[in-house]
Amino acid sequence: MGMVTVLGSYNLGVTYAVEALPVWGQTLLSRHGFFSHGGKGSNQAVAAARFGATVRFVGAIGQDAAGISAREMLVREGIDVSQLIVVPDYPTGIATIFLDDHGHNAIVVNPGANAQLQADTISQDQRSWPQHAVLLAQLEIPLDTVKTAFAQYNGIRILNPAPADSSYAQESWDWVDILTPNETEARILCGLAPDDPIDSVALLQLLSDRTHGKTVVLTLGAEGVLIWHQGQDMRIPAISVETVDTTGAGDVFNGILAAELAHGEPLPKAANKACLGASLSVTRRGVISAIPSVDEVARILDGRNQN
């Protein structure tokens, strides 16, 4: 069984369903709202575990009801939480999500305890992490913490650079093996403005150049995935689905990708399965509740192979 260590965030998700996303100065009444487990790290850890990986989650929660609930959920999913630390003076992270009628969302995150996950806190525990496996991280925790952990790791190092910051355009990324941005994040990493004219293939090549040929997996939503690997680019199409909620689709993709690579699958095959899983996830509300089963993805793959 493949082993994945996920270094990242847990956030309590608070979702509000609205007809359209609010604009500055506007007050909206939500048709309904709900609480859910979230955070990029936690979401990705659950997706990896459901796709058969042995998962360890390294993160931080507050000493509060949300933190207790987070730990209980991760344990139910079969995830090792021995290095999920409790930060007494900070609340568990919270993500507020506005979800419109088209399945599009806007998200604001208060990191809370996540911001206290410092490099010196995890450096001693890192000796027990399984090496020569997969380490997956995101950037809802301090960048220095991620860099320190990656520098000391001997397996496959996957970074989902989300949320991206303009300062990251100066980063070398020489401590990463695989970068998995979406199109917006890739533009930020390349120092481009949102409206700078560039197509997705050129963006992929530009980011690869800026990262000195690193493997880049560029997620494009309904358009699928573009990959730059070992000097070649390839496209993996998404399946056509009716979108209900896009929240966390990237997390589902990254978790499945990490699990499949940990199982020893080649990158194109792993990315194809991850793309299918992410596509299916947007047909349902929520994130963890929307993660498809291994069997669902396998049925689609079998159908493709028979055609």
The whole-angstrom separation of Cα 63 and Cα 86 is 6
Q: How far apart are CA 123 and CA 117, in angstroms?
A: 11
41 carries a ligand binding annotation: yes
How far is residue 2's CA from residue 130's CA, in Å, rounded to a whole number?
10
220 annotated ligand binder = yes
Binding residue per annotation — 82? Answer: no
Beta bridge partners of 157: 135
Whether residue 211 is annotated as binding a ligand: the answer is no
154 assigned to a ligand binding site: no
174 assigned binding-site residue: no
Strand, helix or coil at 94?
strand
Rounded to 5°, angle at Cα 98 from 280 and 60: 80
For the question of residue 251 being annotated catalytic, the response is yes
Helix H or strand E segment including 158: strand 156-159
Annotated binding-site residue? 224: yes
Quote the tokens at residue 71: 């730990």
214 annotated to a ligand binding site? no
279 is in an annotated binding site: no
Is 221 annotated as belonging to a binding site? yes
Annotated binding residue 281: yes
Positive or negative: CA dihedral 86, 90, 91, 94: negative
207 is in an annotated binding site: no
- Residue 110 annotated as lining a ligand binding site: no
Pick from 229, 223, 263, 257: nearest CA to 241: 223
39 is in an annotated binding site: yes
43 is annotated as contributing to ligand binding: yes
Say if CB 218 and CB 183 are below 8 A apart: yes
Within 10 A of 115 (CB to CB), how many other CB atoms are there?
Answer: 17
Which residue among 64, 89, 174, 251 is the active-site one?
251
Nearest residue to 260 via CA among 236, 232, 241: 236
Cα 34–Cα 76–Cα 250 angle in degrees, nearest 5: 55
Q: What is the CA radius of gyration of the chain?
A: 18
| Known binding-site positions for K(+) | 245, 247, 281, 284, 286
| Known binding-site positions for substrate | 39-43, 140, 251
The residues assigned a catalytic role are 251
| Known binding-site positions for ATP | 182, 219-224, 250-251
| Known binding-site positions | 39-43, 140, 182, 219-224, 245, 247, 250-251, 281, 284, 286
